[in-house]
């Protein structure tokens, strides 16, 4: 496969080497984008809620009370109760915490591995073939199958999902990174670095990586939303977080069994997932518009 | 071809353009055949009576095949089916069956005593690697005395035999076809004498049966002795709960016994849907302790945890009040239940008493709310099925937390868990099972030879083994009861299970069908399928 | 990747005759490219086989126990293990498997004894049908939405369109599907929602595929729309478009006639890359709508430890993924000479 095929973001800057991340200007541009700011604000609130969950949750998210099973929203329980009578508000707060932690961890881990693979493939010509073939192999497995196999080995649960999501993130990020790095590699100053005897590692991580960083970063933002959704799909086929862990995907998937009876149990976490993913996507799109010089008119 | 449905949007749109074609398609099947679709959640591996114990196997085999004797909906009376009559010798070792002479297989072959002998011989043949052979009794020999007389001889009496003979393992198969098909038997074809015939099977999607035209030997408790009232019957796999509930109300599927509990009231309230309940049905949910594991080996803890669990709340919660809370391992209505011996109060709900038991045993509550003794946490690992079990276990987790015990749950898919349950790596496990009598249940779960599966609690007790033999070999109902009663008392006193609920069985019939009488046998609510009829 | 100042495959910038400049050299170069792609697919394929095999080796489920069922005794399970050949060493099992596969024999399901090839043949069709039915409306709609958004870049309609298409991809697919079942299927009785009605050319078949295809396609609009928008914006900024505009070509012709065609290449690539993603969605969709497809089969086979069937399904899925990408890649080379020139 060509590096062109690795451009779902189409954000490979042609003038990247001279273009470092200029934070002030980027922020200023982003600030003009209302949707992006709204998304960023929303995500900040969500992250804060997740972080503060243990202190702000009105009830114990694991305290079940079968008498309150599937009760609709009420004054005492603002978003109603789930299949075991647990408070939906509290479970949502803890769920956000788990889901975001899983998603971030997977994207960061997968992103790092993928980025290193991509950089290596771009920098060492000899390794390009083998690395990209491995990436092709990984890419050939639908991530849902990976999730299944990993869950079968380690048992279903947050650890398994996180590993599966990590594995799923590696190949696409490796490709994106390689594509971006290849462009940078053609620049003269890389040859200059080599000429003055700079070490390979230094060139890769001090010069190559920073120049691909914006591309990778944008892609990671977009990937995060997809990762959360994949986690939800894995929950649907029964590989979700183990009880009583509150996790948005698992809550939505488990609650669906009562969808026609007590719609709030599944709908509320689904809507929260939807909004988080939407916010990440909008933010990612906006970042890409700002960071990709060719789209600037 | 499916029967045509009410006009749908696309249909209406396309109709203008495709009128002639559409008419052709719609008209042809409607005139020719009536098809009924039965929805269920999971398919089986193969339709072979000797190789599968799955409920989904039983569901189909009861329809495509017959057993020598049939079980009444009361689950206590045995009726003639392929056998007109039978006698049992005084020593209980020789059963002589007189067979009907008017029975044919779907293939047209005449049914004779040779098929009975062939079926049992195949099951017991080590080559077959048949399952649950103990359900055949200790067979010495099965003889076809003449075309319509079979002698079934045992080396020792087996008091359960006639009940076992109503189960699908005893289905009489066309042994010639079995040989012909080899490994494809039960996959590509099945030849039986049942009210329906095996037509085709697409694993995990649908099993298509067609009416057995010659059938007229249905058991006495059916008004319709045959042939079946519908031409084709399709067993369809519909894994999603919501889809089945919506489907039966909109004619996408016509019948199902897999109704989520939350939907029972909703379906009963729908005038177009007929929900029937099996008058007798023995299917019990329990959580077992692996009594060879640390902590789970402690009788006091087992008793305390039993008192901690609120069965009534579970029956009213996840089961929406449709199930009956269980305070004994087997249903009190079942044959040979020991009413005097079983102390139901052991399994009641009394968290204060549970705390007291644990306090007395030296388990002190730590700062995290869980109990500790000698630095060890009161922690148990449970392997659980998915779906409703997950809810039950989470409820139990909450109940146990309230008395200071930590329950860790690992949930596995229904197909994975059997392998997991064969290990020794857990402290507790979830299980639900069908049975026809006390002896049936005791013989399955408590012989020491059945460790580690299905005797997953690792119950190994010489007295129990001895009583099981006595029960199996009993010549009178009184002796049989006496033996099984002793076992029941002993295993209940040891509190090795936490009984949860006795499950009910509902069968829902959609708008096109008349109400279907539900039968409790082996969880296969439609039994022979002779009660399925279009309005 | 820096864009050439002239888009060569389109050729229009070379003059007014519209002929691609590199016309003569195309066949040989393309053949070489295809040969190269095929060659590097071989190690990938073997890797896929190996990983598929190893993945199932480490799965702790014992197929013999599964097969024996809930009430089987220890001896019965041991007997079944032996008869299934599970006591052979792992590498022997892989060797046997590999040689069989090379001979085109995918084996038999360990559980039902049906030929794996038959099971796959039965289920691959419905899945392809479902995927095509999803793509056939989602891709054009995505392209139209993306084009509209690109043309009206930065305006409210751009925002709304992108929000809608992003919304599609941000929804848990099972929830969307269940909503369709409840409203479109159950309450409004517009379409059936259970199983496959038959071949697509029959009314029943068409009727049954609508809701599953809506569900699965719904998640695909977003990526396609976004890709089209980005790629189109990129092309619209390139020199040949400016030239065309300078020459007074109408904006509609610039966008639809010139720019869009060029910007579809990455969209095609995206579809190839997203087959795996689509398949994940297909597993869920197939379960919701009781659709007899290969996604459900693969998942079912893995969880029930039916090694032969799972391996066969994985092989077919990976193979089809490789094929789609090979086709995309070759198409790409045919369309864009810059790729070959590398």
For residues C50 and B43, give the distance between their C-alpha atoms in angstroms, rounded to a whole number: 30
Specify the pLDDT at position C21: 40
Specify the pLDDT at position B12: 45
Question: Cα angle vertex C144, ends C142, C147, to 5°?
Answer: 105
Do residues B291 and B496 lie in contact, with contact meaning Cβ atoms separated by under 8 Å? yes
Confidence of residue C65 (pLDDT cuts 50, 70, 90): low
| Average pLDDT of chain C to the nearest whole number | 77
Arithmetic mean of pLDDT, C291-299: 86
Q: Is the pLDDT of residue B224 over 80?
A: yes
Specify the pLDDT at position A110: 93
Residue of B nearest to C59 (CA): B416
Q: Is the pLDDT of residue A221 over 60?
A: yes
**Which residue from B184, B415, B433 is facing C304, i.e. has the nearest CB?**
B415
Number of C-beta neighbours around residue B19 at 10 A: 10
When comparing pLDDT for B266 and C101, which is higher? B266
- Reading the block at residue A165, the tokens are 């999501």
When comparing pLDDT for B64 and B422, which is higher? B64
For residue C317, CA distances in Å to A139, B53, B326 come to 11, 32, 47
For residues A229 and A223, give the distance between their C-alpha atoms in angstroms, rounded to a whole number: 10
Q: Is the pLDDT of residue C1 over 70?
A: no
- Reading the block at residue A90, the tokens are 């509290």
Please state the φ and ψ torsions of residue B237, each to the nearest 5 degrees: -90, 115
3-class DSSP assignment, residue B110: strand
Contacts of C222 in chain A (CB under 8 A): 281
Helices (H), B239-387: 241-249, 261-269, 299-308, 311-316, 351-360
- Cα C122 to chain centroid, rounded: 19
- Tokens 């038991």 — which residue? B357
Sort strands B255-256 and B35-40 into parallel, antiparallel or unpaired.
Answer: parallel
For residues C182 and C191, give the distance between their C-alpha atoms in angstroms, rounded to a whole number: 11
> Which residues face B35 on adjacent strands?
B232
**Please, which residues 215-234 of chain C have a Cβ atom closer than 8 Å to chain A?**
222-223, 226-227, 230-231, 233-234
Whether a cis peptide bond, with omega within 30° of 0, leads into B227 is: yes
Whether a cis peptide bond, with omega within 30° of 0, leads into B452 is: yes
CA distance B196 to chain C (A): 21
Sort strands B428-434 and B283-289 into parallel, antiparallel or unpaired.
Answer: antiparallel
Do residues B525 and B278 lie in contact, with contact meaning Cβ atoms separated by under 8 Å? yes
B413: nearest Cα among C34, A151, C50, A53: A151
Low-confidence winner among B135-144, C28-37, C207-216, C228-237 (lowest mean pLDDT): C28-37
Packing angle, helices C294-303 and C307-335, rounded to 10: 140
Q: Is the pLDDT of residue C2 over 60?
A: no
Do residues A80 and A73 lie in contact, with contact meaning Cβ atoms separated by under 8 Å? yes
3-state percent helix, strand, coil for chain B, nearest multiple of 5: 35, 20, 45
Q: Between chains, do C114 and B203 touch, taking CB under 8 Å as contact?
A: yes
B350: nearest Cα among B376, B368, B327: B327
- Cα B187 to chain centroid, rounded: 21
When comparing pLDDT for C5 and B77, which is higher? B77
Contacts of C60 in chain B (CB under 8 A): 419-420
**Please, which residues 63-102 of chain C have a Cβ atom closer than 8 Å to chain B?**
63, 65-74, 76-77, 79-80, 83
For residue C284, CA distances in Å to C132, C174, C178, C279 come to 16, 6, 11, 9
Arithmetic mean of pLDDT, B78-104: 95
When comparing pLDDT for B345 and A238, which is higher? B345
Arithmetic mean of pLDDT, C18-47: 68
Q: Is the pLDDT of residue C175 over 80?
A: yes
Task: Count CA within 13 A, CB hemisphere, residue B344.
Answer: 13
Specify the pLDDT at position A15: 38
A128: nearest Cα among C330, C51, C342: C342
Q: Is the pLDDT of residue A10 over 50?
A: no
Arithmetic mean of pLDDT, C71-98: 72
Q: Tell me if chain A has a CB within 8 Å of the CB of C299.
A: yes
Share of chain B above pLDDT 70, in %: 93
What pLDDT digit, counting tens, does each position of C111-127 carry? 677 788 888 888 888 99
CA distance C171 to chain B (A): 19
What pLDDT digit, counting tens, does each position of A199-217 carry? 888 888 888 888 888 888 8
Low-confidence winner among A113-122, A137-146, B72-81, C155-164 (lowest mean pLDDT): A137-146
DSSP C255: I
CA distance B39 to chain A (A): 17
For residue A139, CA distances in Å to A10, A170, C102, C275 come to 19, 9, 23, 10
Q: Between chains, do B409 and A242 touch, taking CB under 8 Å as contact?
A: yes
Confidence of residue A160 (pLDDT cuts 50, 70, 90): confident
Provide the Cα torsion C326, C327, C329, C330; round to 10°. Answer: 110
CA distance B46 to chain C (A): 5
Specify the pLDDT at position C68: 59
Q: Is the pLDDT of residue A232 over 70?
A: yes
3-state percent helix, strand, coil for chain A, nearest multiple of 5: 75, 0, 25
For residues B241 and C308, give the distance between their C-alpha atoms in angstroms, rounded to a whole number: 29
B68: nearest Cα among B174, B150, B140, B132: B150
Q: Mutate one of B45, B254, B411, B451 to test the C interface: name it (highest C CB count within 10 A).
A: B45
Contacts of A66 in chain B (CB under 8 A): 310, 313-314, 316-318, 395
What pLDDT digit, counting tens, does each position of B354-374 carry? 999 999 999 999 999 999 999
Q: Is the pLDDT of residue C73 over 70?
A: no
Low-confidence winner among A12-21, A186-195, B420-429, C315-324 (lowest mean pLDDT): A12-21
B243: nearest Cα among C131, C220, C286: C286
Q: Tell me if chain B has a CB within 8 Å of the CB of A244.
A: yes
B413: nearest Cα among A242, C291, C292: A242
What pLDDT digit, counting tens, does each position of B138-183 carry? 999 999 999 999 999 999 999 889 999 999 999 999 999 999 998 8
Specify the pLDDT at position B427: 95
| Average pLDDT of chain A to the nearest whole number | 81
For residue B324, give the H/E element and its range.
strand B324-325
Specify the pLDDT at position B23: 39
Contacts of C336 in chain A (CB under 8 A): 4
What pLDDT digit, counting tens, does each position of B382-403 carry? 999 877 898 899 899 989 999 9
Confidence of residue B415 (pLDDT cuts 50, 70, 90): low
Residue contacts between A and B (CB atoms, under 8 Å): 67
Residues contacting residue A194 through CB under 8 Å, at least 6 positions apart:
A203
Q: Tell me if chain C has a CB within 8 Å of the CB of B260.
A: no
Q: Is the pLDDT of residue B76 over 60?
A: yes
Q: Is the pLDDT of residue C34 over 60?
A: yes
> Which residues face B87 on adjacent strands?
B96
Residues contacting residue A232 through CB under 8 Å, at least 6 positions apart:
A248, A249, A252, A253, A273, C172, C174
Arithmetic mean of pLDDT, A146-157: 73
Low-confidence winner among A88-97, B76-85, B393-402, C249-258 (lowest mean pLDDT): C249-258
Confidence of residue A152 (pLDDT cuts 50, 70, 90): low
- Reading the block at residue B94, the tokens are 């020789």
| Average pLDDT of chain B to the nearest whole number | 90
Arithmetic mean of pLDDT, C94-120: 79
**Please, which residues 249-278 of chain A have a Cβ atom closer than 8 Å to chain C?**
249, 252-253, 256, 259-260, 266-267, 270, 273-275, 277-278
Residue contacts between A and C (CB atoms, under 8 Å): 190
Residue of B nearest to C78 (CA): B129
Q: Tell me if chain A has a CB within 8 Å of the CB of C34.
A: no
Residues contacting residue B362 through CB under 8 Å, at least 6 positions apart:
B373
Contacts of B11 in chain C (CB under 8 A): 203, 207
Arithmetic mean of pLDDT, B461-479: 93
For residues A16 and B439, give the distance between their C-alpha atoms in angstroms, rounded to a whole number: 79
For residues C279 and C274, give the distance between their C-alpha atoms in angstroms, rounded to a whole number: 8
A97: nearest Cα among A248, A226, A220, A267: A248
Q: Is the pLDDT of residue A6 over 70?
A: no
Number of C-beta neighbours around residue C277 at 10 A: 23
């Amino acid at each position: 496969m060509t590096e062109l095929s690795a451009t779902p973001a189409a954000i490979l800057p042609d003038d990247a080497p001279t273009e470092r991340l200029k934070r002030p200007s980027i922020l200023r541009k982003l600030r003009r984008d209302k949707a992006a700011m709204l998304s960023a604000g929303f995500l900040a609130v969500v992250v804060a809620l997740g972080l503060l969950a243990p202190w702000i949750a009105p009830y114990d998210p694991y305290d079940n009370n079968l008498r309150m099973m599937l009760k609709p929203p009420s004054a005492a329980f603002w978003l109603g109760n789930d299949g075991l009578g647990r408070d939906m508000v509290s479970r949502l707060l803890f769920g956000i915490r788990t889901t975001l932690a899983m998603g971030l961890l997977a994207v960061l881990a997968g992103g790092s591995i993928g980025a290193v693979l991509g950089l290596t493939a771009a920098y060492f010509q000899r390794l390009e073939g083998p690395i990209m073939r491995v990436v092709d192999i990984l890419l050939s497995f639908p991530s849902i199958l990976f999730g299944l196999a990993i869950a079968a080995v380690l048992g279903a649960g947050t650890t398994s999902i996180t590993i599966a999501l990590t594995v799923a993130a590696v190949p696409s990020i490796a490709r994106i990174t390689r594509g971006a790095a290849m462009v940078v590699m053609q620049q003269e100053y890389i040859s200059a670095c080599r000429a003055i005897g700079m070490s390979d590692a230094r060139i890769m991580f001090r010069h190559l990586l920073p120049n691909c960083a914006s591309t990778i970063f944008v892609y990671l933002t977009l990937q995060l939303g997809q990762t959360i959704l994949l986690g939800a799909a894995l929950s649907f086929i029964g590989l979700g977080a183990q009880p009583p862990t509150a996790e948005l995907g698992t809550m939505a998937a488990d609650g669906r069994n009562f969808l026609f009876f007590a719609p709030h149990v599944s709908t509320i976490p689904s809507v929260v997932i939807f909004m988080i993913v939407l916010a990440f996507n909008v933010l990612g799109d906006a970042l890409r518009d700002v960071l990709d010089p060719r789209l600037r008119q | 071809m499916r029967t045509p449905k009410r006009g749908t949007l696309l249909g209406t749109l396309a109709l203008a353009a495709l009128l002639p074609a559409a008419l052709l398609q719609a008209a042809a099947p409607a005139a020719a055949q009536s098809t009924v679709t039965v929805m269920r959640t999971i398919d089986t591996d193969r339709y072979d009576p000797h190789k599968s114990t799955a409920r989904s196997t039983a569901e189909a085999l009861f329809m495509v095949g017959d057993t020598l004797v049939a079980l009444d909906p009361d689950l206590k009376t045995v009726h003639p089916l392929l056998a007109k009559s039978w006698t049992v010798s005084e020593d209980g070792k020789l059963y002589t069956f007189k067979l009907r002479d008017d029975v044919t297989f779907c293939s047209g072959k005449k049914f004779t005593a040779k098929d009975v002998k062939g079926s049992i011989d195949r099951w017991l043949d080590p080559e077959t690697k048949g399952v649950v052979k103990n359900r055949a009794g200790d067979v010495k020999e099965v003889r076809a005395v003449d075309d319509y007389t079979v002698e079934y001889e045992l080396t020792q009496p087996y008091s359960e035999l006639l009940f076992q003979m109503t189960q699908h393992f005893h289905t009489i198969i066309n042994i010639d076809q079995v040989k012909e098909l080899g490994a494809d038997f039960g996959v590509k074809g099945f030849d039986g004498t049942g009210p329906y015939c095996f037509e085709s099977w697409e694993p995990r999607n649908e099993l298509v049966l067609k009416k057995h035209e010659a059938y007229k030997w249905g058991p006495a408790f059916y008004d319709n002795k045959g042939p079946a009232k519908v031409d084709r019957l399709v067993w369809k796999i519909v894994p999603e709960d919501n889809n089945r509930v919506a489907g039966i109300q909109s004619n996408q599927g016509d019948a199902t016994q897999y109704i989520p509990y939350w939907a029972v009231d909703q379906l009963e309230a729908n005038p177009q849907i007929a929900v029937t309940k099996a008058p007798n049905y023995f299917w019990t949910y329990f959580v077992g302790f692996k009594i060879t594991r640390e902590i789970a080996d402690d009788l006091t803890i087992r008793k305390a945890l039993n008192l901690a669990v609120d069965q009534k709340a579970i029956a009213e919660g996840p089961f929406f009040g449709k199930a009956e809370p269980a305070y004994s391992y087997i249903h009190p209505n079942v044959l040979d239940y020991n009413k005097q011996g079983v102390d139901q109060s052991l399994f009641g709900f009394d968290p204060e008493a549970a705390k007291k038991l644990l306090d007395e045993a030296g388990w002190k509550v730590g700062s995290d709310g869980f109990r500790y003794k000698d630095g060890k946490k009161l922690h148990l690992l449970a392997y659980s099925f998915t779906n409703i079990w997950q809810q039950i276990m989470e409820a139990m987790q909450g109940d146990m937390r309230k008395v200071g015990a930590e329950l860790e749950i690992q949930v596995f898919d229904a197909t994975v868990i059997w392998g997991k349950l064969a290990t020794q790596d857990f402290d507790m496990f979830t299980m639900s099972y069908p049975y026809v009598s006390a002896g049936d249940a005791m013989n399955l779960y408590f012989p020491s030879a059945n460790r580690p599966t299905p005797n997953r609690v690792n119950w190994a007790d010489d007295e129990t083994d001895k009583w099981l033999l006595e029960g199996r070999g009993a010549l009178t109902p009184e002796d049989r009861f006496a033996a099984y009663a002793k076992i029941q008392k002993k295993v209940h006193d040891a509190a090795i299970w936490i009984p949860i609920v006795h499950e009910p069985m509902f069968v829902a019939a959609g708008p096109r069908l008349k109400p279907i009488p539900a039968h409790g046998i082996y969880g296969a609510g439609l039994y022979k399928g002779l009660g399925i009829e279009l309005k | 990747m820096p864009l050439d100042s002239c888009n060569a495959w389109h050729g229009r910038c070379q003059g007014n005759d519209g002929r691609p400049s590199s016309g003569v050299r195309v066949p040989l170069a393309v053949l070489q490219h295809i040969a190269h792609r095929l060659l590097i697919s071989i190690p990938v394929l073997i890797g896929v086989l190996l990983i598929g095999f190893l993945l199932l080796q480490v799965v702790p489920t014992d197929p013999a126990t599964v097969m024996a069922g809930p009430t089987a005794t220890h001896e019965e399970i041991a007997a079944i293990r032996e008869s299934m050949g599970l006591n052979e060493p792992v590498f022997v099992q892989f060797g046997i498997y590999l040689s069989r596969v090379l001979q085109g024999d995918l084996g038999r399901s360990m559980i039902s004894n049906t030929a794996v090839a038959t099971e796959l043949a039965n289920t691959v069709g419905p899945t392809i049908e479902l995927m095509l039915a999803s793509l056939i409306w989602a891709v054009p709609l995505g392209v139209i939405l993306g084009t509209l958004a690109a043309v009206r870049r930065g305006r409210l309609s751009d925002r709304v369109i992108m929000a809608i298409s992003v919304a599609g991809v941000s929804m848990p697919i099972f929830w969307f599907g269940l909503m369709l079942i409840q409203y479109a299927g159950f309450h409004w009785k517009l379409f059936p929602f259970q199983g496959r009605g038959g071949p697509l050319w029959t009314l029943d078949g068409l009727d049954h595929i609508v809701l599953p295809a809506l569900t699965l396609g719904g998640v695909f609009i977003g990526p396609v729309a976004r890709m089209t928008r980005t790629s189109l914006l990129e092309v619209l900024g390139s020199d040949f478009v400016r030239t065309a505009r300078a020459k007074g070509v109408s904006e509609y012709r610039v966008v639809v006639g010139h720019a869009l065609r060029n910007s579809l290449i990455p969209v095609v690539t995206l579809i190839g890359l997203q087959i795996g993603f689509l398949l994940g969605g297909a597993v869920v969709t197939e379960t919701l709508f009781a659709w007899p497809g290969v996604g459900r089969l693969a998942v079912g086979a893995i969880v029930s430890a039916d090694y032969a069937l799972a391996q066969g399904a994985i092989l077919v899925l990976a193979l089809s993924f490789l094929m789609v990408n090979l086709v995309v890649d070759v198409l790409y080379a045919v369309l864009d000479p810059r790729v070959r020139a590398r």
